[in-house]
Structure 1
Amino acid sequence: MSEYPIVVVGAGPVGLAAAAQLLERGLEPLVLERGGRAGAAVAEWNHVRLFSSWSELVDPAAGRLLAPTGWMRPDTSGYPTGREWAESYLQPLADVLGKRVRFGAEVVGVARRGRDRVVDSGREAEPFSVHVRSVDGGEERIFARAVIDASGTWVGVNPLGGEGLPGIGEAAAADRITYRVPDLADAATRARYAGRHIVVAGSGHSALTALVALSGLAEQDRATRISWVLRRGGIGNTFGGGDADQLPARGALGMRARAAVESGLISVVTGFRTETVERDAAGRLTLVSAAGQRLEDVDEVVTLTGFRPQLEWLSEIRLELDPTLQAPVRLAPLVNPNVHSCGTVYPHGAKELAHPEQDFYLAGMKSYGRAPTFLAQTGYEQVRSIAAELAGDHEAAARVELILAETGVCGGAGLFDEQDSGAGGCCGSAAEPEVLTLSAPPTRGN
């Protein structure tokens, strides 16, 4: 099947890194991206400043591919915004890959040629059949010798409802609920939140970023009220490791969020799992918890409770997923958020990411399933190992070539009651231009 390319789903940071790693190994990648540009998901959080520095955001093989083109490597000590990451790195990388990256190509299904998931006979002798829909509605099949799904989890947001399902009335209140970190540099967005009662739901880095940004708005407009809703029974170690965090910007984010809470700008509501969203005649919301608590006179809700993988279009692929996290079964114990933070997850590769379907891999944020706090470096190590495995270099695939920074927060049971929505291709930070704050959201390329 060597005549077929290796299809990579998603032209985000990990998908493009996979293509660079494959190309360096003499393998032919084909990246399929449903958006119109590299890092299409990143473009939806352009205002977010990552808390990983440039030194941690450029894949080694991608850097080597870019070097002969005259590409200027950004200052390694700097912390880019999503916009800067996309414009200074992702788009140039896609440009170098050229026709190996196809935009406006949405993968809607993957199977083995001539086989559904039930058929054993001759299965591994057949290439993958990747079904693609273009922006004009046209459909085609592309055959592939292997598939790396690096499509991320960006569109698979978790709901406000505390059961993993939308709360009763949540859909009807959609015009008052956002599932993204607001960009308060945008005048219209700022006007939407200024002088209002805003609920922020979530305990991860994205929630902390939103709290820091909104507290700045509250300082300028004292009519702005902020309620922070946590499902857990107390704040605990939500603010992170502070000075002990080896990613300084991430530690600084937690300290700034703590300061905003201690200033009195933010009211904290703990042990609140939203069950119902009520709406009055004036359009204001009341959140009702499973225990009957009521949070009233709410104008806007910022829901940052995490992400989940979209698996529907992989229904004909034989995946082996952990029933709790929806991550590959060998990886799940390593990323269990009740035990690990992103700095305590052991680097891993092809072995942990393999499935019963030979030569099919989930990589990047999608590989973590519902587990939070994913680092770009982790994704780069994953695809380095996968590329080596597909090239037949099993020794290199098994070798660990990454040391992660400690977070300063090591888990015990119950560390996370909910997903950390800051799980991006970077553990980045959303922020005001001069300030390093939050963790960047998970990227979905396809």
Structure 2
Amino acid sequence: MTRSLRLPITNTFADGGYSVRAHVGADQQAVHLILDTGSATLALGHAHYHVEKDNYVEFTYYSQSIKYAEGSWHGPVVKTTVRLGIFGHSVTLPQTFVAIAKEPNSPEQPCFKKADGIMGLAYQPLNHAYRYCDETKEKLSEYDLYSVLLSDSVETEQAELNVDKPIATTLPSYFSYLEQQHITANKFAFWLHRSSIYNVDSNCLTAALAHRTNYGLFVVGEPLFHKDLYSPPLLNAKVLHDKFYNVTLKAIECEGVATNAPVLKASDQARWCSNAIVDTGATVIGLPESLYDDVMGQIHACVRNADVLLAPFTAFSFQEQGIPLTELDLTKWPTLTFILEGEHGEDIALRLPPDAYWQIHAPSYNEASFKMFPLKHWPNQTILGLPLISQYYTIFDRARGEFGVVSFAHKVTAGQTVETLKQIFKK
């Protein structure tokens, strides 16, 4: 078993979401995949995968149709080789399931932004698929089905197939399959700087690519081996279900005043499982409307002109908004503390400082973007996204306990590592 692997990732291809470089198929086509703990499917945009170049490809009788908060796609499923990392420092999974995603014509919000696809890191029950049965096999080969499934729409597919509807099922997710094949341990971690792209003077993507805070690390296998990335203690939040990384949010504190998080309604339990999830695919903190109103009330009590500064951010938009950076004084804004249920029922406290829920030089140079939003027409579930995850060395340990834990450790920065080394060599 590979002990551990650390891979560079960047937030510049997915509007603040992080993507990793992977290599697919016989000719090792290079692709950038968004890393998303809020979904479980490995998918490539059909324009970014060249099936004719892949001598390893196996066509299947599976299809997938996935809808995200932003965008949707459908398409066939193939099996091929996917490698993470560079030769000599990589993990390779032969003949794993990969969906070839076709989005609606001219989508308002492309699913994958400027990335080539997505790697869902959640559990298999979220990796929904459809299996075509004997009637289809009598009429179409796997390749014929592949071609039809990349047609214009799901309705066109059904008309052309003229077969019974496929059977709903699930497929192993990429990371689950890595562990099942004993290639890596059932753990991974994120070491990040930000939840928005840090834009430089020209607002140029090439220039942003060169800025160090737009990079991070994705650690696969044994995150605790990488002691240069974190320092103890580990704060372990109990995962409650094998769908999302479901946790329990107890309260949010602001200046010593705690606001209790609403519990999930009984009617929402089967689908949503808990009142919070840890989601690397979310570039914001999303709060149920009642909790958001209470927390904003506490912030307004601390910051005299908060109502003016927060006016552009009262509703979530897929297009990131900003205010002039000169209007923002982060020293006036309070640190928030998120209280989660720990592995053994204890409280764990996670700090969210102002420079995490505000992102400077985003969405443009000399602007600032606020990263907490109300979730309207949504269950009582908080989305703990990148603003909180990026404050810690965040470990997703799927092997611990019944459903795993999400661990949060103090993140050691490169500057701190250099200072530590200086002190060592002075002795």
Greater fraction strand: 2
Judge same fold: TM > 0.5, yes or no. Answer: no
With the shorter chain as reference, the TM-score category is under 0.3
Higher relative contact order (CA 8 A, sep 6+): 1
Q: TM-score, with normalisation over the residues of structure 2? A: 0.27
The normalised TM-score by structure 1 is 0.27
More helix as a share of residues: 1
